[in-house]
Each structure stands twice: as C-alpha cells, then as structure tokens.
A and B are shown apart, each in its own frame.
Chain A
C-alpha cells in the first residue's frame, strides 16, 4: 500500500465505523480497497456481525467458473478471511460444496447432507438469502431453457425458484449480468436465447427476470472475470447494511445496474491506464510486444467503464493493459459484440455491410481530391 493509502487508512482508524454513512463507507472501501478497510475495522465488523449470519446461495448457469476462480484468487482478504469477517454462510456453491446430485430412478435421493439438489431446494424453501448468479440463463429453445440443464431440471427453472425467494440478487460476471459470450451475435444466438439476470446485452426488457415476470432488486458485477474486490466489497456493503436494498440502488447503480463506485459512468479505463502517457504523446504500439499505448492494437479501454487502472488486479499488482494485452471492455453490457474484433481498433471495425468508416471516409476524400484535380485541369484549360 502506498503512503497516501496508509495515511488514509490511519485516518479511518479514528472514525467510528458503525456511525459511518453509506457515502463515506463506499468512499473508504473504494479508496483503500477491501484489504485495508476490512483490516482497519476487523474488530468492529466482527463484533457487529456476531449476531448475524447471512446466507448466500450461489448458482452457476452457462459460464466457465472464472468469476468463482477470480473470487477464490482474491488475495488479501482471501475468501476465507472475508467469510469469517463478514460472517457469511456460503450455503450453496456448486463448485465448492461437498454434496453432489444423486438421483435414483430419476428422483433426488438421500438428504441435503449428501445431495446438492435437495440442499438447494431446502435453502430456497427457507428463504432469507442473497442469491448470487454466475453465468447466463438459457431461454431457448422456444422459451424452454433446455439448452442449460443442471441435474434433472433446466437452469431457468432453478433460477426462477431461487429468484422468487431471494432477498436480493447479485449477478456476478458479464454472463450473469448481460449474457456475455453466451449471447454474442452468432448463428445460434436466437435459438439458444441466453439471457442475463436483469438484462440481455443493453436491453433490460429482455432480462430473464422480466421474461419470468419476477420483480427483484439486482446488482450487476460484470467483468470477464469480475474483480474479487468488486464482488466482496459489494457483498460486504449489502451484508453490513451499508447498501439498503432496494432504497439505495437507484443512486448507487448506473443504468446497467453496476455499482458506480467500481464502474464509474463518467470515467473509462483509458483515463487511468498505466500506458496513458504514451497515448498523450501519440506513441502507439503496432505489435503486441511493445510498451506503448495499445489503442491501435484494438484496446477498448476508452470505451470501458471500470476502475481497473486504479484498483489493479492480482493483488493490486497489474492489469490487462499493463501486462501487454489490449483492454477488451469485458465489463460493458454489449461485450463481446461491442469489442469485436478484439484486437482491431474500433474505428477500423466494419459497421455497415462490413464497411470500415475510416477507409470509406479516406476513399471518399481521396475521390473528392481526384475530382478536384480533374476539375482544376478542365477549368484552367477552359480559361486559356
């Protein structure tokens, strides 16, 4: 942690955490990060939460489990520390739990001690949990949801049941938030019809909740994968009551349901990119191995709203552009369509009938210049 953050953390120590308002809380966790914040208030948080246990039901749809991995890779605090400090009960998480689905003659057998299918049903019946969804939800074919089946039922059916009883929903990762690569433009997009929890790409009317007619507050934590801090701090704020659901959501979230503190509407990744100085000097890399600005290699940082440049990844050590890879705007609702081709400058992308605005415009200007030359010759001759 740099000196500025240390000083800020030191200042926070003199403040009463429990009397901190939501704005100050978010400012504090945004500025010092989960590590410093949870470290500074460890005792207070634990004592404040001793009486409370928050259940989390974490469902996986069409996804790669990258977001769970990202969460598990969270450095300091790691997931165990966070669970301990926040007094969280991750009651159901398909990748982490010991239970598995057991079916005999097509019916779930045994008890929730061993059978995950029975466990999730019991948890849903009990209610009073935060539902975390990772992965997109298949609606196809023809609204049946059969393109994603877990156990003996569609994920759509399981999600519907879980969403109805949830006290709040967190859609973690771009797949759960907006559909992500599952609903990328393709020949099978329509038939598979994958949806995000509350959105399909930029369109909220096509979110799975709307499809099912369920009205629940949703917080989207996009990213491919989502940053562990984004997940933990949002969960932490919800659990600690620093985000009052649903009252605070309208002021906290942007129009795509993302917490503005992590996904600032008024700023892009480009603004705090470690390579930004090269952009300002007009120095661009033309191959992937350089150390200059990656814009001409298709970097989408000027279009991506996230605090990657400030927060960094891998324990605050690096981020995509710093490691040499152009930003692919994975936090945007239109991802990956809006970022494709990933390594082609946005201005060089074919827009209408494959036409590239840059080249078409240059051709038009060139043609006009040629016409001007021909015109000049003709008129000059005519004057002789």
Chain B
C-alpha cells in the first residue's frame, strides 16, 4: 500500500500490527520479570503484586497472540482461504529462499557477499511478497509453540483444578503430564513447572536473539521506528529491500515459487 505523498514509502505495519506488537512486547517483558520474581524470590516487588500482575498480563498476551495477530495475518490478504493460507506461508513460514538468505547473511557477517534482501515488495500488485527476516520466521513458529506450552503449563501452576465451562482442563493437563513426567523422574506437576520455567528462559533467549542480533544493526533500526511508531518503510532505502517491478518479478518468481505454485507444480516421473 503506497502513501500519497511519497511513491517509495509504503505501509509495512498497520496500526493493529503495531499495537499488537507493542502490547505483546510489554506483556511479555512483564510476564518474564514477574515470573522470575516469583521463581527466584527477587525482592523488587511483593509476591502478591507480582502474581497479580502476572495473572493480568496472561489474558492480554494470549488475546494478542491468539486473536489479534491471527486476525491481522488473515485480514491483510485479499481473496479466499487459499489466498490467505498462501499469504501466511509466504510471509511467516521459513522456506527454501529463506534458507538461502540465512546462508548469505552468515557469509555477510564474515565479510563475504552482500546482506540479502528479505523485505520483498511487489510494486505492481502493491504489497509485500515477504518482509520478515528469515531467522525471525523460525523464531515466530517456535514462539507460537512456546506460548502454547507456557500457557498450558501455566494453567496447572495457577490452579490445580481449573475448569472451563465445567470441563476439568487442569485435570486433563495433569493427566498428560503423567504420561511424560515419570519418564524423566518427575511428577506431572513438577514436569509442568519445569516446562514453564524452560519456556520462560526460551522467551528470554528469543528476546536476546530478536533484539540483540536480528535487530541490532544500524541499518535495521528503521524497522524499530516502523513497528513501534510510523508503520512505514521507505523502499528507496535499499538495505534489505528489494522492489519487484514487471521485469524483475518474473526473475523473482522463477527463483522463488510461492507455496501455491509449489502445490500446482506438475510431478515429473
């Protein structure tokens, strides 16, 4: 989507994208801090305040991740379900081209070759083909998994007999833990407590990778401004950006078949 004033400035993140990311970041940091306070006994706030804050942030984080972000993903593309899935796969799932980009990024780190473009904009169609850093695509899938695991384990830490609409959810979760925990010499509750701690560390680890490595490059800092404030990307800044026009689009498509193209590709005998 182009802006009226400048032909090269496009909308990278919608208002809802930015709000979701900011709330997600805020809730996540608070959850990590209050969670580690409860676990390690840090004395910067009382246990009860830490627990209350922790429990307030949980529904906020889950609502952002399980409602707003899926809505953003699937509302940002036009067409039917197939188009939306195609858009999701192109934008968020690590594919062969992302693997190539990752290798090129590593080579670039050691002084060989250019930093590859990962923000690919289709000028003709007026939207991004893909825009996330390839490693970010890996992190997003892992984060989704970690979020699910930490939420599930969090339920039994919150209340051992938690039920939803009369369904004994916590009891079911503990029963699943009974299948795994004993193999590790743990009771079900111990297993979920350890899982919760492990996932907490995962989020700290992810934060270090995300902020400290992927986004710690003076050329990347334009994306900070975009995700937290403007939502815009200036395509004339060629760092990490590739704009596809009629001629280059053909070459790009030849190199990178989209998910739907791959599905349609004939099988050779």
Main secondary structure of the interface of B (DSSP, over half): helix
- Sort A-B residue pairs by CB-CB distance and give the 10 closest, nearest first: A372-B212, A282-B41, A361-B201, A266-B161, A280-B47, A368-B208, A338-B187, A379-B217, A266-B160, A383-B218
Cβ–Cβ contact B194 & A357, under 8 A: yes
Point out the residues of chain A lying under 8 angstroms from B25, CB to CB. none
State which of B37, B171, B185, B189 has its C-beta within 8 Å of the C-beta of A337: B185
Cβ–Cβ contact A283 & B160, under 8 A: no
Q: Is B93 an interface residue (CB 8 A)?
A: no
Cβ–Cβ contact B212 & A279, under 8 A: no
**In the complex, number of A-B residue pairs with CB atoms less than 8 Å apart:** 121
CA distance A277 to B57 in the complex (A): 24
Cβ–Cβ contact B216 & A282, under 8 A: no
Q: Is A216 an interface residue (CB 8 A)?
A: no
Given contacts A280-B47, A357-B198, contact A372 B216 (CB under 8 A): yes
Cβ–Cβ contact B218 & A349, under 8 A: no
- Residues facing A in B32-49 (CB within 8 A) are 37, 39-43, 46-48
Q: Is B267 an interface residue (CB 8 A)?
A: no
Cβ–Cβ contact A347 & B201, under 8 A: no
Point out the residues of chain A lying under 8 angstroms from B219, CB to CB. 383
Cβ–Cβ contact A372 & B209, under 8 A: yes
Cβ–Cβ contact B46 & A340, under 8 A: no
* Given A268-B189, A282-B47, A383-B217; 16 other pairs, CB 8 A cutoff: A255-B175, A282-B41, A337-B185, A346-B186, A346-B194, A357-B194, A357-B201, A358-B197, A361-B202, A361-B204, A368-B205, A368-B209, A369-B208, A372-B209, A378-B109, A379-B218
State which of B47, B109, B184 has its C-beta within 8 Å of the C-beta of A279: B47
Cβ–Cβ contact B159 & A266, under 8 A: yes
> How many A residues have CB within 8 A of the partner chain?
47
- Residues facing B in A286-331 (CB within 8 A) are 293, 302-303, 329
Closest-CB distance, B33 to chain A (whole angstroms):
13
CA distance A340 to B186 in the complex (A): 9
29 contacts between A and B (CB under 8 A): A202-B181, A202-B187, A267-B160, A282-B42, A284-B41, A334-B186, A338-B181, A340-B185, A346-B194, A349-B186, A352-B184, A357-B197, A361-B198, A364-B201, A365-B201, A365-B204, A365-B205, A368-B213, A369-B208, A369-B212, A372-B213, A372-B216, A375-B217, A376-B212, A376-B216, A379-B216, A379-B217, A380-B218, A383-B217
Q: Is B11 an interface residue (CB 8 A)?
A: no
Cβ–Cβ contact A281 & B209, under 8 A: no
State which of B48, B182, B186, B217 has its C-beta within 8 Å of the C-beta of A351: B186
Point out the residues of chain A lying under 8 angstroms from B86, CB to CB. none
| B→A interface (CB under 8 Å) | 37, 39-43, 46-48, 109, 159-161, 171, 175, 178, 181-182, 184-190, 193-194, 197-198, 201-202, 204-205, 208-209, 212-213, 216-219
| A→B interface (CB under 8 Å) | 185, 201-203, 255, 265-268, 279-284, 293, 302-303, 329, 332-334, 337-338, 340, 346-347, 349, 351-352, 357-358, 361-362, 364-365, 368-369, 371-373, 375-376, 378-380, 383
